[in-house]
Chain A
Amino acid sequence: MALLDIQNLVVEFQTASGPFRAVDGVSLHVDEREVLAIVGESGSGKSVSMLAVMGLLPWTATVTADRMSFNGRDLLKMSPAERRRIVGKDISMIFQEPIASLNPCFTVGFQIEEVLRFHMGMDRAQRRARAVELMKLVGIADPEERLNSFPHQMSGGQCQRIMIAIAIACNPKLLIADEPTTALDVTIQKQILDLLVSLQAKYGMGLIMITHNMGVVAETADRVIVQYKGRKMEEADVLSLFESPKSNYTRALLSALPENAVGDRLPTVSDMLFEPAPSGASA
């Protein structure tokens, strides 16, 4: 059975100029121990669909779906209180801007322990021990010392590690990483991706990696969903996606990578999108 199963998800925002459909009939599922990547450009609805799963969208959004179940339980029918017990515990999320997602007024130790207090009901000593353990796990040196640091005293990479520590604190079954490395340098990006993948394998989590970077997809994913303007364009396992992309859009994205450039000009998505598929690939 799939860990997360979404059928025909539609998210609409009420705007001054009428409803805007950000996600338009997306279906997806993630299994345990699986890394699913959702790729798309800004405005493709990749983050919005995952925020809908977390229940983090503002009130202007209307979420409808034929089915949205996590671990066999229907997320749409749950009361907000029930849902809050799942979100942050069994499903947790890492955001793009690590420094902006941490609260600048509290120490990182407090912020890790807050999750443990709320979801696990641990006492003070247990919380402290677990926080130290988590910080070791995500690779922060001197965890006892660093617990008392504030976010601004740490680098972007370290803050992202703290975010990961908070996200995995309650041993989630599903971890959603929304562009976890976009704001970071390449060398730090590598470390964070390695960390996420090793934690995923160690604890058998499902991992959803939202990204626009094809390199990140190639380095982490088992299965890939390509989204464009709120619709799913293609779903394939990572190797066949790169070897023989089926949709025109995916092909356009791959050829827009500078490393795939032939000659002096890069093909752009608009050049490619409306051309017929070359023979041999089924559309």
Chain B
Amino acid sequence: MSTTVVEGKNIVRDYHIGGSLFRGQRTVHAVKGVSFSVDKGKTLAIVGESGCGKSTLARIITLIDPATSGELFIDGNKVDIARNALTKEMRRKVQIVFQNPYGSLNPRQQIGDVLGEPLLINTGKPAEERRDLAMKMLKKVGLGHEHYNRYPHMFSGGQRQRIAIARALMLNPSLLVLDEPVSALDLSVQAQVLNLLADLQDEFQLTYVFISHDLSVVRYIADDVMVMYFGEAVEYGSREEVFSDPKHGYTRTLFAATPRADVASIKARLAKKKAA
């Protein structure tokens, strides 16, 4: 029996912009009533172009921003951070990995401290235990003990993203929100990080909300896919449904725009060029 880890019902987020003596206030509807649910151990991919509201939705799911209206359930409990303060228990359950591993790690903090800090803030574990847990987690994400005392600038992009993933996993969350975790990485490093994510998902029964604009990555990692366009979920279904039979025009545009790297389409392009 699968349990639902995260569920959103009709989530709306508006931002109020500006408003001065001479200009009226303007409201941007960033997310316009999106519903979804993800079961334990599954991956929901959210796809869309920049400005479509996918990162706003990620911030709502991660409990960073409150939704303007709508209901969010995490592990079956309703969460509303606009009304009630966020408990440490809730904060432990949901963690996020950001897109840019160069910007999301403090350059003046050693890796050991980066990993220990979530424990320091959210748990009462003593220093020694924090150190042990951080060491273990470094191993899990494919780094070694010797990296414990190093600073972020001593690592490559792929290694930094591993550290960001390790930090997110320190509190043993049930839900991990991944906001474009591989778009800043090279192809071969991207493959390593995707493998790591798949391994960790198996090991800890993690649930992922995976945000991306790269359809080939989504096709590889997702169980369910949601396509967002101007704040609305225009398409939502299992990976097979969405990829084999896209219903909305925007999804089809997206598929058509994705460059194809197979031999048949290269042949077709070259033939077309010759004819022209």
- Residue contact B220 to A259, C-beta cutoff 8 Å: yes
Which residue on B lies nearest to A256, using beta carbons?
Answer: B191
Q: Are B259 and A258 neighbours in the complex by a CB distance under 8 Å?
A: no
Q: Annotate B23-63 by CB proximity to A: 1 below 8 A, 0 otherwise.
A: 00000000000000000000000000110000000000000
Residues of A within 8 A of B263 (CB): 239, 242-243
Are A186 and B49 in contact (CB-based, < 8 A)?
A: yes
Contact call A269/B259, Cβ cutoff below 8 A = no
Within 8 A of A (CB), among B219-248: 219-221
Q: Give B256-274 as 1s and 0s: 1 = Cβ < 8 Å from A's Cβ atoms.
A: 1111111101110110010
Given the interface contacts A219-B269, A242-B261, A267-B191, does A212 sit within 8 Å of B186 by beta carbon?
yes
State the CA gap A264–B198 with chains docked (Å).
8
Least CB separation from A254: chain B residue: B261
User: Judging by beta carbons under 8 Å apart, are B216 and A258 in contact?
Assistant: yes
Q: Is B194 interfacial (CB-CB < 8 Å)?
A: yes
Q: Please tell me which one of the listed residues A186, A214, A270 contacts residue B258 in the complex, with CB atoms under 8 A apart.
A: A186
Residues from chain A with Cβ under 8 Å of B267 in the complex: 239
- Kindly state whether residue A201 has any CB partner on chain B within 8 Å: yes
Distance to closest chain B CB from A99 (angstroms): 12
Residues of chain B with a CB closer than 8 A to A253's CB: 187-188
Contact with B along A183-206 (1 / 0, CB 8 A): 001111110010000000100000
Nearest-CB distance from A247 to chain B (Å)? 14
Task: Report chain A residues within 8 Å CB of B256.
Answer: 190
Contacts of A264 in B (CB 8 A): 198
Q: Is the CB of B217 within 8 A of A258?
A: yes
- Chain A residues with Cβ under 8 A from B276's Cβ? 201
Closest to A241 in B: B266
Q: Are B259 and A41 in contact (CB under 8 A)?
A: no
> A14 on the interface (CB 8 Å rule)?
no
**Interchain CA distance A201-B273 in the complex, whole Å:** 9
Q: Given A42, A214, A267, which contacts B261 in the complex, CB threshold below 8 Å?
A: A214
Assuming A186-B215, A261-B220, A265-B198, is B261 touching A41 (CB within 8 A)?
Answer: no
**A residues in contact with B186, CB < 8 Å:** 41-42, 212
**A252 interface residue, CB < 8 Å from B?**
yes
Cα-based distance from A164 to B76 in the complex (angstroms) = 52
Decide: A259 and B261 in contact? CB cutoff 8 A: yes
Q: Given A218-B261, A238-B266, are A256 and B190 also a contact pair (CB < 8 Å)?
A: yes
Contact present for B49 and A187 (CB under 8 Å): yes
State whether the Cβ of B192 lies closer than 8 Å to any Cβ in chain A: yes
Distance from A254 Cβ to chain B, minimum over Cβ atoms (Å)? 8
Task: Decide yes or no whether B3 CB sits under 8 A from chain A.
Answer: no
Closest CB in chain B relative to A169 CB, distance in Å: 25
Indicate the size class of the contact surface on chain A: 35 or more
Which residues of chain A come closer than 8 Å to B147, judged between CB atoms?
none
Question: How many angstroms between the C-alpha atoms of A215 and B262 in the bound complex?
Answer: 9
Asked if B143 CB lies within 8 Å of chain A CBs, one says no
- Judge if B90 is at the interface, Cβ distance under 8 Å: no
Cross-chain contact B188 with A258 (CB below 8 angstroms): no
Asked if A218 and B259 sit within 8 Å, CB to CB, the answer is yes
Q: Is the CB of A218 within 8 A of B260?
A: yes
Question: B259: which A residues are within 8 A, CB to CB?
Answer: 189-190, 193, 213, 215-216, 218-219
* CB-CB under 8 A for A268 and B195, given A214-B261, A259-B216: yes
Give chain A nearest CB distance to B59 CB in angstroms. Answer: 20
* Known A185-B50, A186-B213, A215-B260; contact A258-B194, beta-carbon cutoff 8 A: yes
* Chain B residue at smallest Cβ distance from A185: B49
- Measured between C-beta atoms, what is the minimum distance from B123 to chain A in Å? 33
Given contacts A219-B269, A242-B262, contact A252 B188 (CB under 8 A): yes
B254: interface (CB < 8 Å)? yes
Q: How many angstroms between the C-alpha atoms of A276 and B258 in the bound complex?
A: 33
Q: Does B2 contact A (CB under 8 A)?
A: no
Q: Which residues of A contact B50 (CB under 8 A)?
A: 156, 185
Q: Does A100 contact B (CB under 8 A)?
A: no
Q: How far is the CB of B173 from chain A (nearest CB, A)?
A: 22
Q: A212-B187, A258-B220, A260-B261 are known contacts; what are 7 more A-B pairs with Cβ within 8 Å?
A: A186-B213, A212-B186, A252-B188, A256-B188, A256-B191, A261-B220, A266-B220
List the interface of chain B (C-beta within 8 A of A): 49-50, 157, 186-192, 194-195, 198, 213-217, 219-221, 253-254, 256-263, 265-267, 269-270, 273, 276
Q: What are 28 A-B pairs at a CB distance below 8 A? A: A42-B186, A185-B49, A186-B49, A193-B259, A212-B186, A213-B187, A214-B187, A215-B216, A215-B258, A215-B259, A215-B260, A215-B261, A216-B259, A218-B261, A218-B262, A219-B259, A256-B191, A257-B216, A258-B214, A258-B216, A258-B220, A259-B219, A259-B261, A261-B220, A265-B198, A268-B188, A268-B195, A269-B188
